[in-house]
Chains A and B, each alone.
Chain A
Amino acid sequence: DAGVIQSPRHEVTEMGQEVTLRCKPISGHDYLFWYRQTMMRGLELLIYFNNNVPIDDSGMPEDRFSAKMPNASFSTLKIQPSEPRDSAVYFCASSLGGAIYFGEGSWLTVV
């Protein structure tokens, strides 16, 4: 099993640019989660999907953030425009209703 696959692993971008983070969940899983981790705020849930439908997006910080799940094997988290305070590690995770399995994260730095 390949696990949850995220790309890119590392991204450095300039303020104002659009950032797209990608995630491939574990095959067969019906839940997909996006988390963000910073030193100040720890691990925060941004949004999660069930069967490709967004269930709870209350953690999305503002309208600059959007997430989509066009099919069961792919999701994106987009930030437009990006700001320095968006610098963080973004984790994607998936589950089949039980244990949630995380990817290795996308390290984003906005300068």
Chain B
Amino acid sequence: DAKTTQPPSMDCAEGRAANLPCNHSTISGNEYVYWYRQIHSQGPQYIIHGLKNNETNEMASLIITEDRKSSTLILPHATLRDTAVYYCIVRASTGTASKLTFGTGTRLQVTL
């Protein structure tokens, strides 16, 4: 799996957009970008994933640069319940490389 680089921590005011960056400059053509988060004492939660097009779902938006070397996860209106560690992971879709390898992630603190 390609390695990713994320800032160790970020703060965001409640109600504002949280933009979490991720660098994955060695990503391969068949690797997807996945985002997960882990709220304290819970299992990791799937947020969103994409290959090269921008993606949006009910939780977040994923913006992938044209060269695919970086991406940004956007939480449009952060709430206190979004405080968590956010993991950016690149992963092939199938085969023996289909496992998720977690790094250290970004600890997002949403404040009043």
Residue ranges of A at the interface with B (Cβ–Cβ < 8 Å): 4, 31, 33, 42-43, 45, 48, 55-56, 91, 93, 95, 97-105
Contacts and interface: CB of A to CB of B under 8 A. Distances in A.
Contact of A56 (B45, B93, B99): B99
Nearest to A102: B43
* Interface residue SS majority, chain A: strand
Contacts of B94: 97
B49 A98 contact: yes
Nearest to B32: A98
* Interface residue SS majority, chain B: loop
A5 to B, nearest CB: 11
Interface stretch (B21-29, B68-76, B100-108): B100-108
Interface string B29-52: 000001000000011111001000
A93 to B, nearest CB: 8
Contact of B96 (A55, A99, A101): A55
